[in-house]
Structure 1
């Protein structure tokens, strides 16, 4: 596996601003990452720049689900259900360490949410058109079945329920693995590089961009035959830089999630339940917490500083308290995360009516903008866009290959299926347990890095053999791996993007923050002042 390192950044920046490319992608979320992988796998010379860290926008702030498209049935979007079901299978096949099926309970209440007949019909249609496998098809539940699975506030309101399957995913890690796979195939990629403005030919066609390395302050121009704006929530801001076309493309809404300890909310089954204002909310057990979400409110504030407000948190807590036999309070909230949905703007539509589909719009200058869409459909979005580029270029049309490209970390020489993967993880643990690592800690690393755990393990053995300190050896090995193979630059990015400790395991940060910061300082050459600045930045971000 090639390194994808934070080191020698000056050389990497000089290389990217002195070469010429077929395609420059602006934006390192899942959409830009997917386009980069598709394009480079078809033989195009591709560069991608991201002004912050990869996946630092919406791509790390979702509900952490690869949806199968159940919600689209209400709008009669059968074609979209079929496509979403197919894409979910592809993501599962190509990123097995990050994606796994999870049963979801939908309760049927007397006066809100789905009616029993409609739910049975909808899930039957969904199973058929989404191509759901036999062992994951819907299962209708009696009232007693539902009451055994969820602590309901008013049992008399429960009529029945159903189980269906969604697929859990670490959204940020999925983006990182797509980025790494594209880099492995030859894509030139840098985070913390911001586009300042575009370059144009004499006839007004976009030909590249002036960029700035936000770490070193260096500037340079990247030249490309095509430029794609895949910046998600920032699409309209990037389009304003392009003189040729700046009408509004997006309608932005905000969604927040919160976590509470299982100590306060005992729930064994993930539940998808209705609210009194006719919305649907998830409550999902994960590690030591239950996470709850999401809201959906119009957002017109700073896109770089999206946060959960008091009223957002109160809305989710009230929704849970109305349905479940609990009384959650704000002080019990362990963490929150907030992101925005870059929906396609349609005049006269309500926020809930704004389409969730993706759209490609070409400006008069030739700047290609892509917006909308969902995490599940990232690969198909990329395919459509690169097909467009192929038709526009003078070269031979090359078909999309990403359906069969296994992502970084998912290169397991074992049969398909989560059971086989569990056995593989057990085997890998047996190989390293002599270092003293605990089984739960190792499993967390395994499902974070997948088959690349071998690289982490080998480095951990090296460090362990130096001083026999197991905890230090594994933390140092993980940080070393993220710097050398995942272009990690900042302490906060380790906790928010490379791992999910900042939202699901905040207590762990207090235990290892000094060790992680010291390791990063050693590898990246930080002075003590910079190390302390990084720690303060992380703590401010967590609050």
Structure 2
């Protein structure tokens, strides 16, 4: 019999009740918990299920925002990029970018050089060298697959690659929990509780058991991303007024095309990313208004055709076709709503919007991966004012390494002696490197599980380096409650080349034993996982609207 997850907190009151377990909600929960406030975090799916896991995997300063003359947003983004480098060095890597410039392009070499000079000037520390322009010959030497016809040269600069956005979100959740927050995935808010006209709590359903519990909070934070207006309507606060504009972006995973990231103007003046990530090139993105099912997002055939055509134009020798696509994914941005603007014109600045009696219902709009920490700080500053208590912010000083190490010490600690550590645990150096990239300083907690249990060093998948100890760790320490949680958001298996085809059955069997599932539950878990994978292949259906089985 499953233990009631809300035992000990039911009907109690916390200082901060956060709805939404993506990067925005996770950031607020961590910040508030570190300031000594009592916190409960509720997520109706799994942590990082939504927009967080469907991004371009970049921590960036927002070079494009300079065209909108939003220098303040660029400066803030560059400052937060530097902080995240220190907070999570195991998850973030410097990434060199090329901006190819072609004859007749809207953005010429002079404009690119001026923009990059300003970007360089605004960059704190300028750690990776100066930015500037490259000749046509140098550009083609660096990326010979680019179309050389009418190429004038390229801009060159650095931003950062976020290896695993899901882990960044999870590290915030786990840090919040270490500091006293109660965190729950698969917990859906179904009703808001009121005392007179004031919102004072929620009725929340455990989607795994059906149990309904009442939780109370002095301040409620709506950090649900594209679901923000839906939650406001449930709370009776929308008044027919929108505060978010939901725009859809899709990405393709193709065989590796480049060693640098390429940021290039498309024929319709949009900007196209081609980003080296693991064994793939990540190609994106689109930017179109969206009003469909936020829980069942998929790329359409038309959206895929657009990105394939633009990729073929930029890399003609690669002869890319839809058959080369490993999978796709789609996400929806929760932009702050601005009347009368096209999607690409809407400001990417974030806001903390207070509503309800006493302003105790806060909605977070416009959140970006790069600036999530700053937005969380602003939200918790507002909460501290409402509660008239709370300690100073500490999130910028404590690492997201599994141990909350001071950032001044973290970078040195993360650079472990791989050979010595591999000998100590009797594992291959390549595995150790993978574990450090995943868990930071917390890799030892995973490997310590293998002492006396050599079977936990066994690979979970023949196509991926992840080991059985990671599965046990995910279940026992990281709130992995489903097969899909493990494959897509705790390990890199489901987003790797095999998509789980080589191992999902075996991992489900392991989870059956570890979690006490019966055979029927195991089959439901497999069906749910293959259904999720099928969304990434839906564009192959005639018309791009059907769903095909991804199961082998």
User: How does 1:308-457 map onto structure 2 within 5 Å?
Assistant: 308-325=299-316, 326-365=318-357, 366-395=360-389, 398-409=391-402, 421=414, 423-432=416-425, 434=426, 437-457=427-447
Asked whether 1:198 is paired with 2:192, we answer yes
- Aligned counterpart for 2:165 among listed residues 163, 171, 179: 171
2:407 and 2:222 map into 1 onto residues whose CA distance is 38
CA contact (8 A) 1:192 1:213 kept: yes
CA contact (8 A) 1:97 1:447 kept: yes
1:32 and 1:418 map into 2 onto residues whose CA distance is 26
Give the secondary-structure state (helix, strand or coil) at the position aligned to 2:382: helix
User: Could you tell me how far 1:95 is from its partner in structure 2?
Assistant: 0.9
CA contact (8 A) 2:450 2:457 kept: no
Query: Which deviates more, 88-97 or 126-135?
Result: 126-135
- Aligned counterpart for 1:501 among listed residues 493, 501, 507: 493
CA contact (8 A) 1:108 1:114 kept: yes
Unaligned runs of 5+ in 1: 1-7
Asked whether 1:135 is paired with 2:128, we answer yes
Give CA deviations for 1:367-391 in whole Å, capped at 9, x if unaligned.
2211112111111101111111111
User: Could you tell me how far 1:139 is from its partner in structure 2?
Assistant: 3.9
Asked whether 1:220 is paired with 2:213, we answer yes
1:194 and 1:155 map into 2 onto residues whose CA distance is 53
The equivalent residue for 1:274 is 265
Q: State the superposition RMSD in angstroms.
A: 2.2
The equivalent residue for 2:153 is 160
CA contact (8 A) 1:113 1:275 kept: no
Asked whether 1:210 is paired with 2:203, we answer yes
TM (norm. structure 2) is 0.90
Query: Which has the larger share of helix?
Result: 1
The equivalent residue for 1:3 is none
The equivalent residue for 2:448 is 458
User: Could you tell me how far 1:155 is from its partner in structure 2?
Assistant: 1.6
Asked whether 1:532 is paired with 2:532, we answer no
Give the secondary-structure state (helix, strand or coil) at the position aligned to 2:299: coil
2:192 and 2:362 map into 1 onto residues whose CA distance is 13
Give the secondary-structure state (helix, strand or coil) at the position aligned to 2:28: helix
CA contact (8 A) 2:95 2:260 kept: no
1:165 and 1:29 map into 2 onto residues whose CA distance is 26
2:155 and 2:125 map into 1 onto residues whose CA distance is 15
User: Could you tell me how far 1:275 is from its partner in structure 2?
Assistant: 0.5
2:457 and 2:110 map into 1 onto residues whose CA distance is 59
The equivalent residue for 1:293 is 284
Cα distance 1:147–1:469, how it changes in 2: closer, same or farther (>3 A)? closer
Asked whether 1:232 is paired with 2:241, we answer no
Cα distance 1:495–1:468, how it changes in 2: closer, same or farther (>3 A)? closer
CA contact (8 A) 1:113 1:273 kept: no
- Aligned counterpart for 1:471 among listed residues 459, 466, 488: 459
CA contact (8 A) 1:50 1:190 kept: yes
